[in-house]
């Protein structure tokens, strides 16, 4: 059993916890539709103290506004949180010296101005969306509009799920040497937004203005598929990046590839047929790329006239999840294929190699991720289900059951073959934990990626709110948990920033953007990663949109990647 240790947080009154109007006392609507961007950096008031080693830039991205007033006098409402008009945020944490606490500057920018204008004119997102129902009347109407040409610039593309600082392979000098690793005081040369298809949006690292578009095909001409992982993986020592490309067709083809951070060269590591699926993330070990095709299988034919969400087939528990192990160093291609019981996942955590439990002369791969039994959580993120001011959200939250709960789960892929093997091997579940917290948006110390880790951090979906309701620290060795929670406050993904002088894995701080739903404004929260005690916060005068993911770039140290 896990031990729950409440971290220090402002007091919660019993009246607000027990009232029948619970959801009215945890308002979050401003986090889903803020009419707020700050194009010129403003200084935030800081309370407490943010450690000097956290100085640097924290980027955040995700949906901004979710509705548009159209020329026809109607209000266009986005249906699913993943389709909200993307917005990028930048917190600069400036070291003021030993005698003064760090200063914090904030700026933000919508990155979909052209798309918003398109919706204002047409009343439709147009094209394939994640969860928006297609209106055939609007589609026909758009086709006959001879006086309107849809825009095609970078701010027309709604790309804003994850961010890559200095992503290798793009913006390469004529001599072939990559230019994106260093060049400014922070080493920030490029900033790209990514999503679950193979396109990238280039943003100005300071103003956050959309300035360009690229695709995986820009990395390698064979990467012609439409689908990819929003979360590629980067080697923390070399900066090399790994991802997959999925080409849909009568036979669906996966291409797993790597991009060298030192040369910018992209190499196709393995090509193989497989069941098409919605795969938001993948894993790497010291020697392998681990691609798990879990049970979010996609019907490619349905993409012609349905949203992407509607093309995802219901989880079939009789069909196993398939794990592909691809060599990333020695050109061996697809080394092994494993199967495990069916499950669904958004976010992986980490994987590593270790001597096999059964035969120490062989190698096992161990993989941690956030597991769900099915894909129902996807539809739970419709705005009608998560915006607390809507009666539908309160009704949905009241009947939310275990089917939507997630766990931190450890898988083992035993006895990895030393050379490519066509046999189907069996992956096993070692343990699952934290179901009562329903963790999501997991993070860890990025320096430990590809090594055995001990600590995982995540937001919690305990049912106290219609979205996030706490920050969790989980000890994988003792199975103990520690929780930071404050009634009415909804935190975002907690980004780990390591103490460069630290010895232990959890020596560092967590940075999270939190909405104070009761006050109607947000703040940048800094927690001690060891015990989740609050060290400081930087207060924004208005509500910052709930984001998905972020990247912290320190003023000194190695370039960051996707972990």
Nearest CA among 245, 252, 191 for reference residue 218: 245
Token pair, residue 198, equals 């193979």
pLDDT for the residue numbered 224: 97
Q: Percentages helix, strand, coil for the chain, rounded to the nearest 5?
A: 15, 40, 50
Asked whether 311 and 299 are in contact (CB, 8 A), the reply is: yes
H/E segment holding residue 309: helix 308-311
347 is in an annotated binding site: yes
Asked whether 5 and 483 are in contact (CB, 8 A), the reply is: yes
Nearest CA among 280, 273, 310, 309 for reference residue 294: 280
Contacts of 449 (CB under 8 A, 6+ apart): 233, 234, 235, 236, 284, 350, 563
Q: How is residue 144 annotated by DSSP?
A: T
Asked whether 448 and 368 are in contact (CB, 8 A), the reply is: no
Query: What is the three-class DSSP state of 13?
Result: coil
Asked whether 505 and 453 are in contact (CB, 8 A), the reply is: yes
Half-sphere exposure of 506 (CA within 13 A, CB side): 15
89 is in an annotated binding site: no
Render 482-530 in DSSP notation, one character per residue: EEE--TTEEE---EEEE-TT--STT-EEEEEEEEETTTTEEEEEEEETT
Query: What is the three-class DSSP state of 322?
Result: strand
Nearest CA among 33, 11, 97 for reference residue 543: 33
Asked whether 291 and 282 are in contact (CB, 8 A), the reply is: yes
H/E segment holding residue 139: helix 136-143
Integer Cα distance of 355 and 292 in angstroms: 21
Q: Is the dihedral of CA 45, 50, 55, 61 positive or negative?
A: negative
Asked whether 254 and 244 are in contact (CB, 8 A), the reply is: yes
330 is in an annotated binding site: no
449 burial (CB, 10 Å; 0-12 / 13-18 / 19+) is buried
Q: Strand 424-426 and strand 334-340: pairing?
A: parallel
pLDDT for the residue numbered 183: 34
Every domain of the chain and the residues it spans = 4-554
22 is in an annotated binding site: no
Query: What is the three-class DSSP state of 288?
Result: strand
Q: pLDDT digits over 100-130, tens only? A: 778 999 999 999 999 999 999 999 887 778 9
The pTM score is 0.92
DSSP H helices, 317-445, are 376-380, 383-386, 391-398
Q: How is residue 507 annotated by DSSP?
A: -
Token pair, residue 3, equals 């031990």
In this prediction, the residues of the chain whose per-residue pLDDT falls under 70 are 1-25, 134-148, 150, 172-186, 556-560
Give the strand order in the sheet containing 363-371: 348-355, 363-371, 407-416, 428-433
Radius of gyration of the chain (CA): 23
pLDDT for the residue numbered 455: 98
Nearest CA among 329, 161, 367 for reference residue 238: 329
């Amino acid at each position: 059993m896990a031990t729950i240790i409440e971290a220090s947080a402002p007091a919660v009154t019993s009246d607000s916890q027990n009232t029948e109007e619970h959801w009215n006392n945890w308002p979050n609507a401003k986090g889903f539709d803020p009419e707020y961007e700050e194009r010129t950096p403003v200084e935030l008031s800081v309370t407490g103290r943010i450690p000097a080693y956290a100085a640097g830039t924290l980027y955040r991205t995700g949906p901004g506004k979710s509705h548009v007033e159209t020329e026809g006098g109607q209000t266009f409402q986005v249906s699913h949180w993943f389709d909200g008009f993307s917005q990028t945020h930048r917190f600069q944490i400036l070291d003021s010296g030993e005698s003064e606490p760090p200063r914090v500057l904030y700026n933000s920018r919508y990155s979909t101005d052209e798309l918003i204008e398109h919706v204002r004119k047409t009343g439709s997102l147009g094209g394939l969306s994640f969860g928006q129902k297609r209106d055939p009347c609007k589609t026909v109407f758009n086709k006959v509009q001879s006086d309107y040409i849809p825009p095609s610039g970078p701010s027309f593309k709604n790309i804003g799920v994850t961010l890559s600082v200095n992503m290798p392979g793009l913006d390469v000098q004529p001599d072939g040497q990559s230019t994106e690793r260093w060049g400014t005081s922070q080493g920030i040369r490029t900033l790209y937004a990514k999503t679950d298809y193979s396109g990238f949006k280039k943003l100005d690292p300071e103003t956050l203005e959309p300035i360009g578009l690229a695709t995986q095909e820009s990395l390698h001409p064979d990467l012609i598929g439409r689908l990819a992982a929003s979360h590629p993986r980067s080697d923390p020592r070399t900066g090399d990046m790994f991802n997959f490309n999925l080409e849909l067709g009568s036979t669906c083809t996966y291409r797993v590839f790597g991009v060298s951070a030192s040369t910018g060269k992209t190499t196709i590591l393995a090509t193989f047929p497989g069941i098409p699926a919605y795969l938001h993330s993948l894993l790497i070990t010291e020697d392998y790329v681990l691609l798990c095709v879990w049970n979010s299988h996609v019907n490619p034919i349905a993409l012609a006239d349905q949203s992407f969400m509607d093309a995802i087939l219901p989880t079939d528990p009789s069909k196993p999840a398939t794990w592909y192990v691809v060599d990333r160093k020695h050109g061996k291609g697809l080394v092994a294929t494993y199967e495990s019981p069916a499950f669904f996942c958004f976010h992986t955590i980490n994987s590593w190699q270790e001597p096999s439990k059964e035969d120490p002369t062989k190698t096992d791969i161990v993989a941690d991720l956030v597991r769900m039994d099915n894909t129902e959580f996807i539809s739970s993120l419709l705005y009608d289900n998560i915006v607390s001011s809507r009666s539908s959200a309160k009704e949905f939250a009241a009947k939310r059951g275990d089917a939507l709960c997630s766990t931190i789960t450890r898988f083992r892929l035993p006895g990895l073959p030393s050379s490519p093997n066509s046999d189907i091997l069996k992956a096993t579940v070692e343990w699952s934990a934290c179901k009562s917290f329903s963790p999501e948006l997991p993070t860890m110390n990025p320096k430990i990626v590809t090594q055995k880790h001990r600590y995982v951090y995540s937001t919690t979906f305990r049912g106290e709110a219609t979205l996030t309701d706490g920050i969790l620290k989980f000890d994988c060795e003792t199975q103990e948990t520690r929780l930071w929670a404050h009634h009415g406050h909804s935190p975002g993904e907690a980004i780990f920033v390591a103490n460069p002088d630290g010895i232990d894995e959890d020596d560092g701080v967590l940075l999270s953007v939190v909405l104070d739903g009761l006050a109607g404004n947000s703040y940048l929260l800094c927690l001690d990663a060891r015990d989740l005690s609050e060290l400081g916060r930087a207060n924004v005068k208005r509500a910052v949109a709930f984001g998905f993911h972020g990247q912290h770039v320190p003023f000194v140290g190695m370039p960051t990647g996707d972990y």
